[in-house]
Amino acid sequence: MIRKGHWKHLYYTDGPAQLFDLKNDPDELTNLASTKPKIVSELDAELQKICSPQVESDRADQFTTNQLKAVADIPANPSSLN
């Protein structure tokens, strides 16, 4: 996600982009990505300067997987830990 001026762009590695005009649509009800591809492209480029969305998504997925594995290793009955 990146904001610039009144624009908010949501980048998804596995889905379509979203673009909102926060000045005219503060509730983010109308996705303008398909009607403003130039702005989406510009904000994509700005986001790439900050980070790699794919790398960050992969890292988040790995973190979630590790957390779920850790939870799965916790016994259902905490008293059995004694």
pLDDT digits (tens, 9 = 90+) for 47-81: 999 998 889 989 999 999 999 888 887 666 656 55
The model carries a pTM of 0.73
**Which fold is adopted by the domain 2-73?**
Arylsulfatase, C-terminal domain (3.30.1120)
pLDDT confidence band for 9 (50 / 70 / 90): very high
Residue 62 confidence (pLDDT): 92
Domain locations along the chain: 2-73
- Two tokens at 63? 């973190």
Per DSSP, the residues of 9-61 read: EE--TTS--EEEETTT-TT-----TTT-HHHHHHHHHHHHHH--HHHHHHHHH
Residue-wise pLDDT for 19-41, tens only, equals 999 999 999 999 999 999 999 99
